[in-house]
Structure 1
Amino acid sequence: MKKVALIIAIIFISCLGQVVRAQESKAKNPVIFADVPDMSMIRVGKNYYMSSTTMHMSPGVPIMKSNDLVNWQMLGYVYDTLANIPSLNLTDGKGTYGRGSWASCIKYHKGLYYVTTFAQTTGKTHIYTTKNIEKGPWKAVSFAPSLHDHSLFFDDDGKVYMIYGNGKIKIIELNTGVSGIKKDGLDQTIIENASDPAGTNIMLGAEGSQVFKVNGKYYLFNIAWPRGGMRTVIIHRADKITGPWEGRVALQDLGVAQGGLIDTPDGRWFAYLFRDFGGVGRIPYLLPVRWEDGWPVLGENGKVPETLDLPTSKGLIPGIVQSDEFTRKKGDASLPLVWQWNHNPDNRLWSVTERKGFLRLKTGRIDTSFVLARNTLTQRTIGPESSGVTLLDISNMQQGDFAGLGLLQKNYGLVGVKVVKGSKSIVMVSANTGKPIEIEQIPLQQNTVYLRAECDFRNRADIAHFFYSLDGKLWRSIGEPLKMPYTIPHFMGYRFGLFNYATQQIGGYADFDYFRISDTISSTR
């Protein structure tokens, strides 16, 4: 009897282990725990390509590639500079935080890749094309007006459209060269109020249009936000692109919404959507899709699943973010693709070659705060937790200079070195209240200092802590914890940022030996 019980126990433990291993081998939601909003996605053969939004950042509209829908790597950007104007250059007292280029659309048609976007900052719709999405180059054209949250669509009859709008959804026909609006082409409203399926008390009208054609029917994805409710996926379908369109609520769970459809080479379907997740930003989810009576049915019993029948994630480092020692071999790009400037940079004032193995940030004008300073070099924070570390050489900073490591958003925080009346101090600044306040200052008697910022996004804690070290071994906390809210004025998840700006005189510079990112944080404070 004991032997039978032992055998049963062994079988039970073995089966339990198999279940656990099976769960561990599956992908988990969110598939990318980082700020990758407004995704648009295509499959060409076995490869998936995705564009996303980075708004005021430069370069802009990132392009990513995956072979499994879970593990993504950066391929490049469709532009280095959206436009050379004061608001994008962060000059003349102007900036474009929270604006720049918004939701993009990626398509592949007759050997050409198309990425389109729009910008309130320029008042235009921008179209970029290339024959080689992995290497470029991209050709750019633009036209007025700026078509809000548009979806580029190539129909089977050769006609090309953009479907766009907020609440009221419109369609406009483009010329055959896809370079502008077709004169006397189709231009009409196709859905008077696309929010209707979600009710009458709507806080955010239907937007984020993405259009697909499956088995002869047209499907339009939108997001709406009922007041007192959550972000909601609405799908309309029609037999003709001009309608009539019938709509229904497709998903109301966890606020996961805005995106579209993607199929796999083996015939499965998924919906790609994103979720507002506090300080880390807007994070992508995947949902299985089955077809029922000609409608795509999203999720599992109307819910967002925790696991997916897809390969497990290998992590976001180095696909989405990565460390940088600032060493460059011949032929290397000046900066890896994970880096973006907070606005268009002044390329005269930074270098990775003037001092081998260092990023040099030089001052060229007077600024008054971290968010107004040009040439802040950034990359995403990642969840559920992450840390960034740098070694800063301050030997050539001048009176009034301030350099260091920040977490960029409207309510930012940073740790750095400030030069005041010939003395150097390690300073922690917090904009928790919406205004920057110097929380702590510690005298510094040497020319190098290690700086670290740690972010905890677990269970939406959205808390950051800052540290410094004089030798890279003994770390000390500085200042106070930073609460990291997602604010609309910046409309972006928090980013690590390396910065240096002058407040009194120009001509100084700071050297950063490296930036190292990790998906863990220290266990002690």
Structure 2
Amino acid sequence: MKTHYSTLIMLIAGFLWSSCSEAEKKQFAQNPVIFADVPDMSMIRVDDTYYMSSTTMHMSPGVPIMKSKDLVNWEIVNYAYDTLANNEALRLENGRNAYGRGSWASSLRYHEDTFYISTFSATSGKTHIYKTTNIEKGPWEAITFEPVLHDNSLFFDDDGKVYMIYGGGDIRIVELKEDLSGIKPDGINRVIIPDAGKVASDNLMLHAEGSQVIKHNGKYYVFNITWPRGGMRTVVVHRADQITGPYEGKVALKDRGIAQGSIIDTPEGEWYAYMFRDYGSVGRIPYIMPMKWNDGWPVLGMDGKVPDTLDIPVKNIGASGIVTSDDFEDDKLALAWQWNHNPDNRYWSLTEREGYLRLTNGRIDENVEQTRNTLTQRTFGPVSSASTLVDVQGMKDGDVAGLVALQNRYGFVGVKMSNGSRSVVMVSAETEEPVELATIPLEQDKIWLKIDCDFRNRTDKAWFYYSLNGSDWKKIGEPLQMAYTLPQHFMGYRFGLFSFATKTTGGFVDFDHFKISDEIIEEVAD
């Protein structure tokens, strides 16, 4: 009997150990779901697949389309447009630029087997709608009209009418023509929610904006963000039985400034809200939270808070679906890449030298911020690193090329050609004016460059390195105290590959690869 009892204890212990092991192995999603700049999310579900659009403003191509099967891990599958418009600001000409502008918050919809994205732009002076029957492959048909409808939300009602809900402070509605080519002359056009942020406070620093509209169980819901003075970004929601109102409203979420985005349901009938949080120089990062319906109102989060761990049994891939290393072996760029403003396609190539990205200087520029054909990807947290190998044999006198941490207060490590000699340089615009902090003679044709970024607890520092052999890294210059600037760039820092001329055109550099990592040189960061 004693032997049987001992055996039973061992079996129970073994079962408990196995259960604990399985529980420990089981991983759950964590917030932020993407530790990178993905603001103003608009989201739809088509069967069991989720699609999300976001804001990238002055970048080209623009309005990235991301895809997910689990609401946590996303990959870029397309963009709504290659270029938003063709003007001096978007071409970085005559001292003009579109930093902090370009296209803003989008609205993603699926209606009668067609996908629609609407956005707007003060840079183009128009409201834009793009539509396609294949969201992952395109092609997209572009529709534009005036005026600019700020933070618009496209809405197809059950009666066949199409509306845009938009505005700041007072939220308005306009009825669109059947073909979406403009505002219907005799259609509905009025304020539907006066001073929509008032439900959060009578004293607002930011009036309500960022509209997203859904219809649920016969009621219309308009979500907005607002910012009470002395408080934080706050989600407010209004509901009505008719799209024109009257609307009643309430605060839906006030936690760490997490606000503006979409709500979405799963095939199983669960609901989630997707909102962004300002997080220093890495940008505006997405958080997901459970949502329930209570007495006809959406209830966001758990006890009014956004949980750090989610009851979704998947492991985050973080930003790895939206950033990528690249060896430039393909004849087209990976979807993670975006040009800083509109590119001049005459002066970049993946085929002039096989296995390399060639950037040729087609004009004279003063600094990297005004340089056309700077190729960028997002930085990401908690820490991130980017490195490249560049062949500088084709540089001309006055040329500068390298790797940049791009924002208004940028920093870069690169190569400068001056009086027939090449030097490794580190330049910082931490004080908003570029200053060359280090210059080291370079006697070889190839050099490895690297930037490490630390976003932990909003440290927001970048370090710059070079290597003569690809393995022994040497720090150069000073750490950059990164800053999320408004109204200048209005986005998180970007890693960028660049080349520009200060004296004569025609010089070029060849980038052999671009490698990203979620590890940095700790002894420097500490």
Shorter-chain TM-score range = over 0.9
Residue 364 (structure 2) pairs with residue 392 (structure 1): no
Q: Indicate conservation of the 8 Å contact 1:28/1:312, yes or no.
A: no
Give 3-state SS (helix, strand or coil) of 2:124's partner. coil
Separation (CA, whole Å) in 2 of partners of 1:14 and 1:37: 42
Corresponding position of 2:461: 463
Change over 3 Å in CA distance of 1:316–1:303 after alignment to 2: closer
Give me the whole-angstrom Cα distance separating, in 2, the residues matched to 1:307 and 1:392: 41
Query: Where does residue 517 of structure 1 map in the other structure?
Result: 516
Q: Does 1:173 align with 2:175?
A: yes
Deviations 1:472-493 (A, max 9, x none): 1111001111111111110010
Contact 1:161 1:174 in 2 (8 A): yes
Separation in structure 2 between the aligned mates of residue 392 and residue 417 of structure 1, nearest angstrom: 9
Offset at residue 508 of structure 1 (A): 0.5
Paired letter, 2:177: N
Aligned residues: 518
The residue aligned with 2:289 is: 287
Distance (Å, rounded) in 2 between the aligned partners of 1:356 and 1:317: 28
Q: Which residue of the partner structure matches residue 356 of structure 1?
A: 354
Q: How does 1:4-403 map to 2 (within 5 A)?
A: 19-22=23-26, 25-316=27-318, 318-328=320-330, 332=331, 334-403=332-401
Kept after mapping to 2: 8 A contact 1:413/1:431: yes
RMSD across aligned positions (CA): 1.8
Aligned to 1:439: 437
Query: C-alpha displacement at 1:523, in angstroms?
Result: 2.3
Cα contact 1:68–1:311 (8 A) shared by 2: no
- Structure 1 residue 479 and structure 2 residue 497: aligned? no
- Aligned partners of 1:257 and 1:274 also within 8 Å: yes
Superposition deviation, residue 422 in structure 1? 1.2
Give the Cα–Cα distance (whole angstroms) in 2 for the partners of residues 41 and 49 of structure 1.
6
Q: Amino acid of the residue matched to residue 499 of structure 1?
A: F
User: What is the CA-CA distance between 1:19 and the residue it aligns to?
Assistant: 5.0
Whether the aligned pair in 2 keeps the contact of 1:31 and 1:313 (CA below 8 Å) is no
Stretches of structure 1 lacking an aligned partner (at least 5 in a row): none
Q: Alignment partner of 2:346: what SS? A: helix
SS, match of residue 236 in structure 2:
strand
SS at match of 1:247: strand
> SS of 1:89's equivalent?
coil
State how far apart, in whole Å, the 2-side matches of 1:312 and 1:466 are: 35
Task: Provide the secondary structure at the position in 1 that maps to 2:324.
Answer: coil
2: CA distance between counterparts of 1:440 and 1:111? 57
- Which residue identity is paired with 2:257? G
Whether contact under 8 Å (1:236, 1:248) holds in the other structure is yes
Q: 1:87: how far off?
A: 0.6
Per the TM alignment, residue 309 of structure 1 is displaced from its structure 2 partner at its CA by 2.0
1:115-153 Cα deviation digits (max 9, x unpaired): 010000011000100011111000001000110001000
Q: Deviations over 1:46-77 (max 9, x none)?
A: 11111111100011111111111111111111
| CA separation of 1:7 and 1:430: change in aligned 2, threshold 3 A | farther
Task: Report the CA distance between 1:311 and its aligned residue.
Answer: 3.9
Quick one: which amino acid aligns to residue 166 of structure 1? G
Deviations 1:12-46 (A, max 9, x none): 87776555444xx1111111111111110000111
**Structure 1 letter corresponding to 2:280:** G
Write the letter of the residue equivalent to 1:155.
D
**TM-score, length basis structure 2:** 0.96
Distance 1:70 1:405 in 2: 30
Q: Distance in 1 between matches of 2:9 and 2:169?
A: 64
Equivalent position SS for 2:89:
helix
Deviation at 1:176, TM superposition (A): 0.9
CA–CA distance in structure 1, aligned partners of residues 308 and 195 of structure 2? 33
Identical residues among aligned pairs (%)? 62
Structure 1 match to 2:3:
none
Deviation at 1:308, TM superposition (A): 1.3
Q: Which digits, 9 at most, give the CA deviation of each residue in 1:361-380, with x for residues without a partner?
A: 00111111110111000011
For residues 319 and 302 of structure 2, what CA distance do their matches in structure 1 show?
30
* Cα deviations by residue, 1:404-434 (Å, 9 ceiling, x for unpaired): 0001100001000001111111000111111
Amino acid of the residue matched to residue 175 of structure 2?
E
Q: Supply the AA of the counterpart residue of 1:504.
A: K
Shift of 1:180: 1.1
Unpaired runs of at least 5, structure 2: 1-5
- SS in structure 2 of the partner of residue 195 of structure 1: helix
Whether the 8 Å CA contact 2:453–2:461 is kept in 1: the answer is yes
**Structure 1 position 245, deviation (Å):** 0.5
Letter in structure 1 aligned against 2:265: D
Distance 1:6 1:486 in 2: 58
Cα distance in structure 2, aligned partners of 1:394 and 1:33 = 34
Report the CA distance between 1:522 and its aligned residue. Answer: 1.9
Contact 2:35–2:319 under 8 Å retained in 1? no
Within 2, Cα distance between the matches of 1:228 and 1:356? 56
Aligned partner letter, 1:96: A
